[in-house]
């Protein structure tokens, strides 16, 4: 299955990479690798994530305080948010299409 990012989710991802790299050299790269591992797992086992809300699932990263919020579409995975645990919990809902 292919993976498509919402534009804002891609921005969140890039911001997190930049932030971690600014904190400690190489940490941004480790964050990227953790996201890649998570996406590989989600692609292989789309239903692995626990239900967050309705049809939206969450996949928790192991080494960073982030979760990937996604939906399983007919022939692809749609990444809605790359959300930090301490961010307002439902900010991403407005991204959902009716």
CATH number at residue 52: 3.30.2310.20
Could you report the per-residue pLDDT of 64-89, keeping only the tens digit for each?
A: 999 999 999 999 999 999 999 887 76
* Report field, pTM of the whole predicted structure over 0.85: yes
Is residue 95 in a domain? no
Helix ranges (H only) for 26-88 are: 27-44
93 within domain boundaries: no
pLDDT bucket at 21, cuts 50 / 70 / 90: very high
In a domain, residue 65? The reply is yes
Total number of domains in the chain: 1
Strand partners, 11: none
Note down the domain range covering 8. Answer: 2-85
Q: What percent of the chain has pLDDT over 70?
A: 93
The answer as to whether 97 is a domain residue is no
Over pLDDT 90: what percentage of the chain?
83
- The reply to whether 66 falls in a domain is yes
The answer as to whether 91 is a domain residue is no
* Each residue's pLDDT tens digit, 31-64: 999 999 999 999 999 999 999 988 999 999 999 9
Higher pLDDT, 90 or 85: 85
């Amino acid at each position: 299955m292919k993976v498509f990012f919402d534009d804002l989710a891609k921005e969140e991802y890039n911001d997190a990479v930049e932030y971690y790299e600014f904190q400690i050299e190489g940490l941004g790269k480790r964050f990227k690798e953790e996201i890649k591992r998570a996406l590989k797992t989600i692609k292989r086992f789309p239903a692995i994530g626990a239900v967050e809300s309705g049809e939206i699932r969450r996949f928790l990263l192991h080494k960073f305080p982030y979760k990937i919020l996604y939906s399983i579409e007919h022939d692809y995975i749609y990444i809605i948010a790359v959300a930090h645990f301490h961010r307002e919990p439902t900010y991403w809902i407005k991204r959902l299409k009716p």
